[in-house]
A and B are shown apart, each in its own frame.
Chain A
Amino acid sequence: MSPMFYFLAGLTLLGAVASMSLRNPVHCALSLVVTFAGLAGIYLGMGAQFLGLAQVVVYIGAVAILLVFVLLLTRAAGGEAEAEAAPSWKMAVLVGILVAGVMGAAVMTAGRGVPRETGPDPVPVAQIGRVLMAEYALPLQVIGVVLTVAMIGAAVLAMPEKRGATGKGAGLPGKDGLAGQDRALQRGSSERRQKPSDLPESAGRPVA
């Protein structure tokens, strides 16, 4: 429990509180990024290099970007949100308390039997890789399949809209199974794209 840990924990908590209480949705997203960064710092401080860096890559590099993109594409990100509670706020509070209780109980019981100051003992990445690829090969592949299905599902959801917007022949849906954020972009660019026959000769030059 070094001062570094307290600093990072404070930062994480501060970010979490700010992401709930700030009015501007983009500010909320950015404070959530602070939380992610604080968590990554805590992981790194505990010697879990791979986990900490993966946290940065996945959460700051992808999830946060996805969040801000969703904000920008769905609503005016400039406006301040009205202070109004969702209709199901009582349910939300209940769920929150339950989750917090379960997690708190887990944290309290998990610490038993383990010496407090184990000290950072970095696990080599090669070992993590070996375990993932040998022992947990099947779960890893199942997760891969689940993610692929989700991606295909997202592409399917976008299908009718795409067909209606651009007419036949302008890009079959799902042929470039993109993750959600890029699909939205792709849609934006393909709406601007005309049918090939509408373009003047060789207007759409290839990259070559």
Chain B
Amino acid sequence: MAPSIDQLFVNLLHWVVGFLPEMVRPWASLVISLGAILGVFALLFGLTTVCERKAIARMQNRLGPNRVGPFGFLQFVADGIKSLTKEDVVPRTADRVVHFLAPLALLVPVVLTYLVLPIGRNMVVLDLDCGLLFFFAAGASTELAVFMAGWASRNKYSLLGAMRAIAQMVSYELPFILSTIGVVMVAGTLSTVRIVEAQAVVEGDWLARWNVFTPWGLVAFVLFVIASFAEANRSPFDLPEGESEIVAGYFIEYSGFKFALFFMAEYLGMFSSSAMAVTLFLGGWTAPVAGLGWVPSWMWFFAKLLTLMALFIWVRGTTPRLRMDQLMDFAWKFMLPMALILLPVVVIWHRLGGGWMGWLVCAPPLALAWVLLGKALVGRRQIRPRTYRYAEG
């Protein structure tokens, strides 16, 4: 029974595609799978927005949305209808063509990233030989859309927001990509499917070989998640849309459905980078320990994905916004050196073959590097109660 549930959707797809003529089958398979993935993730996006609002409200001891539908979980439907029926305002001096294209140029690459995410056993739309590179290529194209949105609006705030966003995304792209190189080196492939398979439980072992269970994998995972916060423009790196200074950043001049598209693209980007973190470090759809293989693979994937999303929300509810120089310092003086130090450590770990010997050799230098780089970044500035020059007394 378990395998049939595991492969339920795969068989369903084969069954549906079987009705079509031979010629169009590969394309139909592609379109149907992408449509299904988009449907699932769009629903997940809606539910996550509600969950996020509720969770952050609870963290601030408020109630949060609880009116529309059971416990307020249909709030996203109301929001969607509202954004669809709103007037689409385009500024008179805006560059209409670029202004119109920007949300599409943002959404399309983000949607493309879902092509290479293995969300279950045999459940990947495109098993590319260089799937990881495809993911980063699609991710890199979103920066241009952000620029288009910021520039075409003819608004200094949106331009500032776009500049901030691009600067941040370019800077964090380096640790984002560098932190994954270790995984590629160990797995020996760029294919996301192969990377996941390499992390499955090996026969006779009780623990899965997830990359996060290794010292370098743990550090790389942390770096990757931090960088994906920045790539998704999420708190604490959400200064491209700092309300207090530039109102809403690059999508100030977008209203109605175009705004919803931006919002959705941002969320889908967050989902895809979380899913990539799951794929690279948390073993994708594999079970953590032996004996749990009967749980359907896609269930594992979504459980891990939602756990990571909860982390995203939790961090958003916790951290304040960074300043621009802090943001850049953190990227260039901490994340990048850390990601570079990881590479030789991965090689050493791989040569030693892991085990307790590997931990003994690899963990101390990484911990030392973390502490020292952190010290160098923070410097002599100590965290102490804030003093005010004029406001006291």
> Do the two chains bind?
yes
Chain A interface residues toward B at CB < 8 A: 24, 26-27, 30, 33, 49-50, 53-54, 56-57, 60-62, 64-65, 68-69, 72, 77-78, 122, 124-126, 176, 178, 181-182, 185-186, 189-190, 192-193, 200-202, 204-208
Q: Across the interface, do A207 and B166 meet the contact criterion of CB distance under 8 Å? A: no
Q: Across the interface, do B141 and A61 meet the contact criterion of CB distance under 8 Å? A: yes
Q: Across the interface, do B328 and A206 meet the contact criterion of CB distance under 8 Å? A: no
Smallest Cβ distance from B166 to chain A, in angstroms? 6
Give the distance in Å from the alpha carbon of A124 to the alpha carbon of B159 in the complex. 41
Neighbour of A50 across the interface among B133, B144, B383, CB < 8 A: B133
Q: A65-B143, A65-B147 given; name 9 further pairs at CB < 8 Å.
A: A57-B137, A60-B144, A61-B141, A65-B166, A72-B163, A192-B324, A202-B384, A204-B381, A208-B378
Which A residue sits closest to B97, measured CB to CB? A27
What B residues does A189 contact at CB under 8 A?
324-325, 328
Give the distance in Å from the alpha carbon of A56 to the alpha carbon of B113 in the complex. 13
Q: Across the interface, do B129 and A182 meet the contact criterion of CB distance under 8 Å? A: no
In the A-B complex, the 9 residue pairs with the smallest Cβ-Cβ separation, listed nearest first, are: A61-B140, A56-B137, A206-B378, A53-B133, A53-B137, A185-B167, A189-B325, A125-B130, A189-B324
What B residues does A176 contact at CB under 8 A?
332-333
Give the distance in Å from the alpha carbon of A192 to the alpha carbon of B159 in the complex. 18
Give the distance in Å from the alpha carbon of A60 to the alpha carbon of B141 in the complex. 6
Smallest Cβ distance from A157 to chain B, in angstroms? 18
Smallest Cβ distance from A66 to chain B, in angstroms? 9
Give the distance in Å from the alpha carbon of A185 to the alpha carbon of B160 in the complex. 12
Which A residue sits closest to B143, measured CB to CB? A65
A206-B381 contact given A53-B134, A178-B332, CB 8 Å threshold:
yes
Interface string of B331-365 (1 = CB under 8 A from A): 01100000000000000000000000000000000
Give the distance in Å from the alpha carbon of A200 to the alpha carbon of B383 in the complex. 13
Give the distance in Å from the alpha carbon of A60 to the alpha carbon of B383 in the complex. 41
Q: Does B61 lie at the interface of the complex (its beta carbon under 8 Å from any beta carbon of A)?
A: no
Subset of 10 A-B contacts with CB under 8 Å: A56-B138, A57-B136, A60-B137, A61-B139, A61-B143, A68-B151, A178-B332, A186-B328, A186-B332, A206-B377
Chain B interface residues toward A at CB < 8 A: 95, 98, 128-130, 133-134, 136-141, 143-144, 147-148, 151, 154, 159, 163, 166-167, 170-171, 173, 188-190, 322-326, 328-330, 332-333, 374, 377-379, 381-384, 386-389
Smallest Cβ distance from B100 to chain A, in angstroms? 13
Give the distance in Å from the alpha carbon of A30 to the alpha carbon of B171 in the complex. 21
What B residues does A30 contact at CB under 8 A?
98, 144, 148
Give the distance in Å from the alpha carbon of A64 to the alpha carbon of B386 in the complex. 43
Q: Across the interface, do A49 and B128 meet the contact criterion of CB distance under 8 Å? A: yes
What A residues does B137 contact at CB under 8 A?
53-54, 56-57, 60-61
A50-B386 contact given A56-B140, A57-B137, CB 8 Å threshold:
no
A60-B140 contact given A50-B130, A202-B382, A206-B378, CB 8 Å threshold:
yes
A200-B387 contact given A56-B140, A207-B378, CB 8 Å threshold:
yes
Smallest Cβ distance from B269 to chain A, in angstroms? 14
What A residues does B374 contact at CB under 8 A?
208
Give the distance in Å from the alpha carbon of A190 to the alpha carbon of B325 in the complex. 7
Q: Across the interface, do A181 and B129 meet the contact criterion of CB distance under 8 Å? A: no
What B residues does A124 contact at CB under 8 A?
129
A202-B381 contact given A26-B151, A190-B325, CB 8 Å threshold:
yes
Smallest Cβ distance from A47 to chain B, in angstroms? 10
Which A residue sits closest to B152, measured CB to CB? A26
Q: Across the interface, do A78 and B154 meet the contact criterion of CB distance under 8 Å? A: yes
Which B residue sits closest to A185, measured CB to CB? B167
Neighbour of B386 across the interface among A68, A126, A193, A202, CB < 8 A: A202
Neighbour of B147 across the interface among A68, A125, A182, CB < 8 A: A68
What B residues does A192 contact at CB under 8 A?
324-325
Q: Across the interface, do A62 and B386 meet the contact criterion of CB distance under 8 Å? A: no
Which A residue sits closest to B134, measured CB to CB? A53
Which A residue sits closest to B159, measured CB to CB? A72
Q: Across the interface, do B133 and A77 meet the contact criterion of CB distance under 8 Å? A: no
Give the distance in Å from the alpha carbon of A40 to the alpha carbon of B384 in the complex. 53
What B residues does A60 contact at CB under 8 A?
137, 140-141, 144
Q: Across the interface, do A182 and B171 meet the contact criterion of CB distance under 8 Å? A: yes
Q: Across the interface, do A57 and B140 meet the contact criterion of CB distance under 8 Å? A: yes
Which A residue sits closest to B138, measured CB to CB? A56
What B residues does A208 contact at CB under 8 A?
374, 378, 383
Neighbour of A205 across the interface among B163, B381, B387, B388, CB < 8 A: B381
What B residues does A68 contact at CB under 8 A?
144, 147, 151
Which B residue sits closest to A58, measured CB to CB? B140
Which A residue sits closest to B388, measured CB to CB? A200
Q: Across the interface, do B325 and A206 meet the contact criterion of CB distance under 8 Å? A: no
What B residues does A185 contact at CB under 8 A?
163, 167, 171, 328
Which A residue sits closest to B135, measured CB to CB? A53
What A residues does B383 contact at CB under 8 A?
202, 205-206, 208
Smallest Cβ distance from B33 to chain A, in angstroms? 19
A193-B325 contact given A61-B173, A78-B154, A206-B378, CB 8 Å threshold:
yes
Q: Across the interface, do B173 and A125 meet the contact criterion of CB distance under 8 Å? A: no
